[in-house]
Amino acid sequence: MNIKSFISNLFKPDHVNYQGVPRINIYIMRSFFLLMFVFVGFDSWNTIFNHQGQWKPITGVAWCVWAAYSTMSILGVFHTLKMLPIMLFMVFYKSLWLIVVAWPLWISNQLAGSAAEEMANVFIWVIIPIIGMPWRYVFRAYVWAGK
């Protein structure tokens, strides 16, 4: 297979292996699942294992959700389309946080130097899975399913 046909096949729907989802979308999502497993997993499990004292309930639940979510993300590397809901969850909560928390700070010129700045810098990368998401498949499989 030459490079030209490899690249053109990346963008064609793959009905044999991926229910009509182009390989490029699968590869982008697999990369994100792997990144979530490694980086979110490292931070969350490291925080959980090294925490001293009692947890504040909301802080504890946040770290536990991130630990569970990152651990489940490894399944997305191997079963990408089956684990798509976890990717949708990530897109939704990060986008919602950016709109509800970061956007008001940004438009009032208060984001830079705030406690939310670091998280906003991490969450802004949600644009990549939004672009890589096979939206046609999402609507076909989850929104219009059974109609």
Query: pLDDT tens digit string along 83-134?
Result: 999 999 999 999 999 999 999 999 999 999 999 999 999 999 999 999 999 9
Give the angle 105-109-110 at the CA atoms, nearest 5°: 50
Q: Among 142, 146, 56, which Cα is nearest to 91's?
A: 142
CA angle at 16 for the pair 69 and 86, rounded to the nearest 5°: 10
Q: Which amino acid type is present at position 99?
A: I
What's the rounded Cα separation, in Å, for the pair 118 and 112?
9
Q: What is the reported pLDDT for 86? A: 92
Residue 7 domain-assigned (yes or no): no
Does 40 map to a domain? yes
Residue 82, domain member (yes or no): yes
Whether residue 113 is contained in a domain is answered as yes
Total domains present in the chain: 1
Cα dihedral sign, 98-103-105-106: positive
Residue 10 lies inside a defined structural domain of this protein: no
9 located within any domain:
no
CA distance 140 to 134: 10
**Per the domain annotation, does 6 fall within a domain?**
no
Residue 135 located in a structural domain: yes
Give the residue-averaged pLDDT of 53-70: 95
Domain hosting residue 51, numbered range = 21-143
